[in-house]
Amino acid sequence: MDLDKLSAKKCIDLIKSKEISVTEVTDFFINRSKNINNKINSLITVCDEEATERAKYIDKNFEDFKEKKLLGVPISIKDAINTKDILTTAGSKILNNFLPPKNAFVVDKLLDEGAIITSKSNCDEFAMGSSNETSQFGPCLNPWDISKVPGGSSGGSAASVASSQNLLSIGSDTGGSIRQPASLCGVVGLKPTYGTVSRNGLIAFGSSLDQIGPFSKNVEDCELLYNTIKGYDSDDSTSLENFDEVEKTEIKSLKIGICDELTGEGISDDVRNYFENSINELKKIGAEVENVSVPYIKESLPVYYLTAPSEASSNLNRYDGIKYGLSDNKHQSSWEVIKNTRSNFGDEVKRRILLGTFALSSGYYDEYYGKAQKVRGMIVHSFKEIFKKYDILISPTSPITAFDLGSMIDDPLTMYQNDICTMPANIAGIPAISIPCGISNGLPVGLQIMGPHFSDLKIINIAKEFENHTNLNILESMSI
């Protein structure tokens, strides 16, 4: 039985029918994780002892777990999400000895539903990056071509699912950090509506933008994982309770807007070709498709790069070597401890802290951060007005396919442009999903579907129908 070819749903069915045990599944994926990790560095920690112990416990108490949603499914957790007593570094040396005292809310939900946490996945340091090259544990490589990046910041999660080191993964998305690596690695990635999935236990980057979400091989598994992790958390002040979810809709009844600002200049020819093919497929199914302009959406990039660094500056201020962070304070003054601790930040983190601190400084707050929040409100309003006329918006997920390792790391402005298609959804807090729509020169291309607030299940259903119609299974052609 080729366990690495399984979907999460099929894996659960096999375990429920006792054709295979949870321990056998776990052992297989632990061994596969170790072998492949030597090639692509997608994982920071392989949780072999914890996973094996839990698998044996579930097998021993099978009757108590047999109806669980994620029975025995191996899953990786982005290393910026807390796992009790399991190393959690956020890709930074500052946290290279941090063992969280409790799980993140979503991790507890996964464990409650029978999942097996097999690994913690590599990520850009404090989730700051678009290529998974800023991790202080080394860059993650794209399993389609190890000379390419997997995207970021959740590149390890995307790469681990694409290479079947696990069947599912959990990442976080601040400006596209789930969808962009999902696109570059040929898997499914969802950024839920802000507040529908608790951020409790996520190491914060930009608190008003961050959102935890799922990675999977197909849309059905994505839906399963989303339904597992969503829900109200009283310990998260941004968690939403009793929200009304938009009803599911078939593609043939849809009015779809092609976002002009996200499909024009800067989109590569190969990505554009597959995006146009996707539009034609949607039309074949029966959707009405029109080009539409979303006012102020072009301002998403500057709004993001004032908002996110400002919030990062505030969030990372706690890492002083006294309350938080790696510390060697022997015979040092408090200022020396702070200096020595913060010297462990990488260049990209330092860059964003400096930018954010400047934007929040006296005399500049209203000119920069304050003005950015006003424009953000205008972007939110623009989306609300557009969704009165259109059911969903579509665009490429990434303007280009996976790029060469090291080709943009010293050019941050060009690197930042790679998130131009994904940032608007974070600014507005709306849900968006990336699904594979083709392979160009051996590298995956992603299609992004965006919907109004609380239409998460609606866009998942649309993505599932599109996936079934096109019958794409691009992971079958991966050779790793």
Q: How would DSSP label each residue in 100-139?
A: -SS--HHHHHHHHTT-EEEEEE--SGGG--SSS---TT--
The pLDDT, as a whole number, for residue 417 is: 87
What's the DSSP call for residue 317? Answer: G
The pLDDT, as a whole number, for residue 43 is: 98
CA distance 476 to 480: 10
The sheet with strand 211-216 has its strands ordered as: 43-46, 116-121, 74-78, 168-173, 211-216, 188-191, 432-440, 443-450, 392-396, 255-259, 288-292
- What end-to-end distance do the CA atoms of the chain give, in Å? 18
Question: For residue 376, is pLDDT > 80?
Answer: yes
Q: Indicate the pLDDT class of residue 330, thresholds 50, 70 and 90.
A: low
Question: For residue 474, is pLDDT > 90?
Answer: no
Q: For residue range 198-256, what is the model confidence (pLDDT) as tens digits?
A: 999 999 999 999 999 999 999 999 999 999 999 999 999 999 998 888 888 899 999 99
In the chain, the amino acid numbered 124 is: D
CA distance 162 to 166: 9
CA distance 277 to 321: 53
In the chain, the amino acid numbered 36 is: I
Nearest to 459 by CA among 254, 176, 290, 278: 254
In the chain, the amino acid numbered 440 is: S
The pLDDT, as a whole number, for residue 341 is: 85
CA distance 434 to 211: 15
* Backbone CA torsion sign across 54, 56, 62, 66: positive
The pLDDT, as a whole number, for residue 128 is: 97
How many residues comprise the chain? 480
Structure-token match 């990635």, residue found: 189
The partner residues of 75 in beta bridges, in order of sequence, read 117, 168
Q: For residue range 77-122, what is the model confidence (pLDDT) as tens digits?
A: 999 999 999 999 999 999 999 999 999 999 999 999 999 999 999 9
Question: For residue 136, is pLDDT > 80?
Answer: yes
State the catalytic residues: 78, 153, 177
Which domains are present in the chain? 1-480 (3.90.1300.10)
What's the DSSP call for residue 93? Answer: G
The pLDDT, as a whole number, for residue 377 is: 98
Q: For residue range 331-370, what is the model confidence (pLDDT) as tens digits?
A: 578 888 888 888 889 999 999 999 999 999 888 888 899 9
Nearest to 82 by CA among 200, 175, 195: 200
Helix (H) / strand (E) element for 440: namely strand 432-440
Question: Could you give phi then psi for residue 290, rounded to 5 degrees?
Answer: -135, 150
Question: Could you give phi then psi for residue 343, rounded to 5 degrees?
Answer: -65, -15
Question: For residue 328, is pLDDT > 80?
Answer: no
- The residue ranking higher by pLDDT, 418 or 392, is 392
Question: Could you give phi then psi for residue 363, rounded to 5 degrees?
Answer: 95, -15
Strands (E), 204-324: 211-216, 255-259, 288-292
Helix (H) / strand (E) element for 314: namely helix 300-315
Degrees, nearest 5: CA angle 129-131-135: 65
Nearest to 170 by CA among 111, 106, 227: 106
CA distance 362 to 369: 11
Spatial CB neighbours of 134, under 8 Å, sequence gap ≥ 6: 91, 124, 125, 128, 152, 153, 346, 347, 348, 349, 409
Q: What is the dihedral of CA 410, 413, 415, 418, to 10 degrees?
A: -170
